[in-house]
Structures are given as C-alpha cells and as structure tokens.
C-alpha cells in the first residue's frame, strides 16, 4: 500500500519552495546591484578625486614658527557658495584639500561683507605660541568653530 499525499499538499509544497527560490534570487540581485553601485562610486572617486578647491588668502605663523594658521576660501562648484575656512597646521605642512580643521563660515546668503575671493572676511592673530584669536563678522553663518586643535587654543571675536 502506498501513501499518496493529497494534491493540495503537493501544490502547497511546490508553491512554498517556489517562493523560497524567488526570494533567494531577489536577495542575490539586490546584493549584485549594491556591489555594482559601490564599484561605480569608487570608480567616480578615482576619476574625480576632489571637486572642491582651496584658495589660500593668508598664512599667519605662530610666534615660535611651529604652527601656521591658514585662512582660505573653499569652492565646491556652482551649486555651493564660497566659504571661508581656517586650518591650523604645522609650519612646514602644505594645506590639504579639505575643509578647515578649526573654523568654517559663509556669508549667510549675502548678509555679510565678503573678501575678493567670495567668502566672508576672517582674520587671525596669534596671542602666543599656543593661542590664537579668529575674528569674523557677527552675521556670518558659522558651521565649525573649534576651541582647540593641535594643542593651540582658539578664541573668537565677532565684529
């Protein structure tokens, strides 16, 4: 005597395995798309390493010539406005092509005076070998304002 399962049971069995196979294929396709997108972004980063550029406006060396504060404009293309940045780096170091490590501000959509380079006017002065003051317009829109970097204390004056 052989036991034959009812037809409904066989259909349910085949349907559940069919759905399982479908979801496995869907997961593989999603993973493949994710890997393809990551590879594309990596390739674009190699072709266009940095769409932003820095224009140095002033280098101000610390009294003992150990550090320098670099005031610069950063331009990241037509869809962004100009911004003024300040980085504190070693006296012999070149400014990296990145945002300022201490201070970043823009002109608050034209609300404050700008330099010839396009961003808000910012001034730096050293008060000692490990302390400096950054002066900027009170109406500037400030995005970054650190109190210290590389062992240098930073104070701010708003005009």
Say how far apart CA 128 and CA 39 lie, in whole Å. Answer: 49
Full 3-state SS string of 55-117: EEEEEEECCCCCEEEEEEEEECCCCCCCEEEEEEEECCCCCCCCCCCCEEEECCCCCCCECCC
Phi, psi of 88, deg, nearest 5: -105, 125
Say how far apart CA 62 and CA 68 lie, in whole Å. Answer: 6
CB 99 within 8 A of CB 86: no
Q: What is the pLDDT of residue 32?
A: 80
Say how far apart CA 103 and CA 15 lie, in whole Å. Answer: 62
Say how far apart CA 96 and CA 53 lie, in whole Å. Answer: 10
pLDDT tens for the chain, residues 1 to 159: 556 556 556 566 666 666 677 777 777 887 888 878 766 656 655 555 567 888 899 999 999 999 999 999 988 776 666 889 999 999 999 999 999 999 999 988 888 888 887 889 999 999 999 999 999 999 999 999 999 999 999 999 998
Q: What is the pLDDT of residue 14?
A: 62
Q: What is the pLDDT of residue 2?
A: 58
CB 89 within 8 A of CB 24: no
Rg from Cα positions in the chain: 29
Cβ-in-10-Å burial (0-12, 13-18, 19+) of 100 comes to: buried
């Amino acid at each position: 005597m052989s036991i034959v399962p009812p037809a409904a049971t066989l259909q349910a069995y085949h349907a559940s395995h069919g759905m399982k196979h479908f979801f496995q294929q869907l997961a593989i396709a999603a993973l493949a798309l994710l890997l393809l997108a990551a590879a594309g972004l990596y390739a674009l980063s190699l072709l266009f390493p940095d769409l932003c550029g820095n224009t140095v406006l002033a280098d101000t060396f610390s009294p003992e010539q150990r550090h320098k504060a670099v005031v610069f404009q950063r331009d990241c293309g037509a869809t962004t406005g100009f911004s003024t940045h300040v980085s504190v780096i070693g006296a012999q170091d070149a400014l990296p092509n990145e945002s300022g490590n201490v201070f970043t501000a823009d002109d608050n959509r034209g609300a404050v005076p700008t330099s010839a380079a396009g961003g808000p006017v910012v001034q730096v002065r050293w008060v000692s070998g490990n302390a400096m003051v950054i002066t900027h317009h009170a109406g500037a829109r400030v995005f970054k304002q650190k109190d210290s970097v590389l062992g240098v204390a930073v104070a701010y004056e708003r005009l």
